[in-house]
């Protein structure tokens, strides 16, 4: 009977180690490098009553202290089809792109927590989360 309890403790330690050593980031690119495209959904915005645009990536997960690089791309054909990548405190960033524009920016994830990024033109549909783990 004592061995079954020991086996459970060993499994718990192994599971914890797997989580501790979990690789964070997007597959196929450099660690902590993310590509985010703006995307218009095929829906009647006037009929629905809210914007029908979304980010291609709605969750970014990193660790505190990581250097994060984001490639933000607005593939819209019309220049007046603007989108932003906006993140409030503590990161305070706002990148505003016309259709056909892109930008790359980096920052250090120095505050643990969950932070909402959004497009100022397309709320409430165009949102995502930056999750900074310890």
Domains of the chain: 27-133 (2.60.40.420)
pLDDT tens-place string over residues 10-59:
555 445 444 444 444 455 467 899 999 999 888 887 888 888 899 999 99
Q: What is the dihedral of CA 61, 87, 113, 104, to 10 degrees?
A: 30
What HEC string does 80-129 produce? CCCEEEEECCCCCEEEEECCCCEEEEEEECCCCEEEEEECCCCCCCCEEE
pLDDT for position 43: 83
pLDDT tens-place string over residues 83-111:
999 999 999 999 999 999 999 999 999 99
The tokens of 76 are what? 């819209």
pLDDT for position 25: 47
pTM of the model: 0.76
């Amino acid at each position: 009977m004592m061995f079954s309890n020991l086996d459970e403790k060993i499994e718990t330690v192994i599971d914890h180690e797997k989580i501790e050593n979990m690789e964070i980031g997007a597959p196929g690119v450099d660690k902590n490098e993310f590509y985010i495209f703006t995307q218009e959904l095929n829906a009647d915005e006037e009929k629905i009553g809210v914007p029908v645009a979304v980010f291609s990536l709605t969750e970014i997960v990193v660790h505190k202290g990581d250097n994060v690089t984001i490639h933000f791309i607005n593939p819209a054909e019309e220049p007046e089809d603007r989108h932003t990548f906006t993140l409030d405190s503590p990161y305070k960033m706002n990148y505003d792109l016309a259709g056909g524009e892109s930008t790359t920016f980096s920052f250090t994830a120095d505050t643990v927590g969950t932070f909402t990024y959004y497009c100022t033109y397309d709320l409430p549909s165009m949102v995502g989360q930056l999750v900074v783990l310890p």
